[in-house]
Amino acid sequence: MEQLTSHIIGTGSYLPEKRLTNADLSQMVDTTEEWIFSRTGIRERRIAAPGELTSDLAVEAAKRALDAADLPADQLDLIILATTTGDLLYPATATIVQHKLGISATNIPAFDIQAVCSGFMFALSTADAYIRSGLARRILVIGAETNSRIIDWSDRGTCILFGDGAGAVVVEAAAKSASGSTILSTHIHSDGAHCDLLQTTGGISSGPPEGQKGPGLGFVSMRGNEVYKQAVKALGQIVDKTLEANQLQREQLDWLVPHQANIRIIQSTAKRLKMDIKQVVLTVEQHGNTSAASVPLALDEAVRDGRIQAGQLILLEAFGAGFTWGSALIRW
């Protein structure tokens, strides 16, 4: 039997309406528009409306990806949702998405993956493993976040960085010889030794943050500068490793679609790859850091506006809390 590979047959994304600009933030905390833009590359980010949940963003992105793939939702056989800001502690938000897509009766498995900003890379890697092993044929892979719900809006070190949004892809099994947008390889890593550098201030078994009653989850807390250094290092290594695993040279890459945490981190990865910044899909200026949503949001933007073309070589990468990091190489 011929070996199976994963084809990406549709992409989609969704952003909430409300824009929060750097000027707005300068009224909320001790910062300036100029400081935020020069240190991060961010000018604005989107914020989910009250009552607008991660599952709502995910469903919009999923519907657009399914439309692009021309695939009815009931033809899916697995849903994987990457998120750290699910609707509830449980059930998994993926099951809520399944219900909102109207396909609960299919009884297909639906589960969440939590790898923070690398979540989409972990979800895509999992989907690819399901396809290659023959366990699933059509998988909806989503990254969706309402980061605004876990931000301490009085902490200028973190509240300027994050935004809300969702992106999705539909992945389908294909014969290795078939033409189409093919995932060549995925690579994922974790290193729990640094979990204290980027974490929430409370949790379930750790209990609520000090002075707070009930099962409060706390807020994002980050030692930004140290995270920054680790991100640059890990991403540099993983992009080299990804090319090496496929016996490809960096000159052969057409597009880098990176996690959008900070323009300076992205520039340093592009520099290592000797890529012109024009070959990098950038959304950080308008979206900020949307965590697990950032890579599929950027991918969808570049597919829809025609930058990404059939036959091109695309490198996706992300780094996040844990630490976790991951990449995927795709022949579009």
Annotated active-site residue in 22, 117, 147, 159? 117
Nearest-approach distance from CB 88 to ligand UT7, in angstroms: 24
Helix axes 294-304, 119-132, angle to 10 degrees: 70
231 makes contact with ligand UT7 (CB under 6 A): yes
Nearest-approach distance from CB 154 to ligand UT7, in angstroms: 11
228 makes contact with ligand UT7 (CB under 6 A): yes
Active site residue 159: no
147 makes contact with ligand UT7 (CB under 6 A): no
Q: How far apart are CA 157 and CA 204, in angstroms?
A: 24
Q: How far apart are CA 173 and CA 170, in angstroms?
A: 10
The span of 44-52, 124-132, 220-228, 237-245 binding ligand UT7 (CB under 6 A) equals 220-228
224 makes contact with ligand UT7 (CB under 6 A): yes
Q: Are 151 and 172 in contact (CB under 8 A)?
A: no
73 makes contact with ligand UT7 (CB under 6 A): no
Angle at 101 between CA 99 and CA 103, to 5 degrees: 65
Nearest-approach distance from CB 255 to ligand UT7, in angstroms: 20
35 makes contact with ligand UT7 (CB under 6 A): yes
Of 10, 320, 322, 326, the one binding ligand UT7 by CB under 6 A: 320
Three-state secondary-structure class, residue 292? helix
Of 225, 247, 276, 310, the one binding ligand UT7 by CB under 6 A: 225
Q: Which of residues 265-304 bind ligand UT7 (CB under 6 A)?
A: 265, 289
- Supply 65's token pair: 């990806």
119 makes contact with ligand UT7 (CB under 6 A): no
Residue carrying the six token digits 């009766």: 105
117 makes contact with ligand UT7 (CB under 6 A): yes
Active site residue 107: no
Of 39, 43, 149, 307, the one binding ligand UT7 by CB under 6 A: 39
Of 19, 156, 304, 307, the one binding ligand UT7 by CB under 6 A: 156
Look at the alpha carbons of 231, 236, 241, 246 in this order and tell me if their dihedral is positive or negative. Answer: positive
- Supply 68's token pair: 């692009």
Q: Which strands form 255-258's sheet, in the order they lie side by side?
A: 110-113, 78-82, 138-146, 164-175, 4-14, 182-190, 324-331, 313-320, 255-258
Active site residue 225: no
Angle at 158 between CA 152 and CA 36, to 5 degrees: 130
262 makes contact with ligand UT7 (CB under 6 A): yes
Instruction: List beta partners, residue 19.
Output: 46
31 makes contact with ligand UT7 (CB under 6 A): yes
Q: Which helix (H) or strand (E) holds 301?
A: helix 294-304
Q: How far apart are CA 9 and CA 245, in angstroms?
A: 24
| Residue 8 or 282 with smaller CB distance to ligand UT7 | 282
Query: In sequence order, what are the residues at sequence separation of 6 or more whose Cβ sits closer than 8 angstroms to the Cβ of residue 279?
Result: 253, 254, 255, 256, 270
325 makes contact with ligand UT7 (CB under 6 A): no
| Residue 30 burial (CB count, 10 A) | 8
160 makes contact with ligand UT7 (CB under 6 A): yes
Of 227, 238, 263, 315, the one binding ligand UT7 by CB under 6 A: 227
Number of residues that bind ligand UT7 (CB under 6 A): 20
Binding footprint of ligand UT7 on the chain (CB under 6 A): 31, 35-36, 39-40, 117, 156-157, 160, 224-225, 227-228, 231, 261-262, 265, 289, 319-320
Catalytic amino acids? Answer: 117, 259, 289
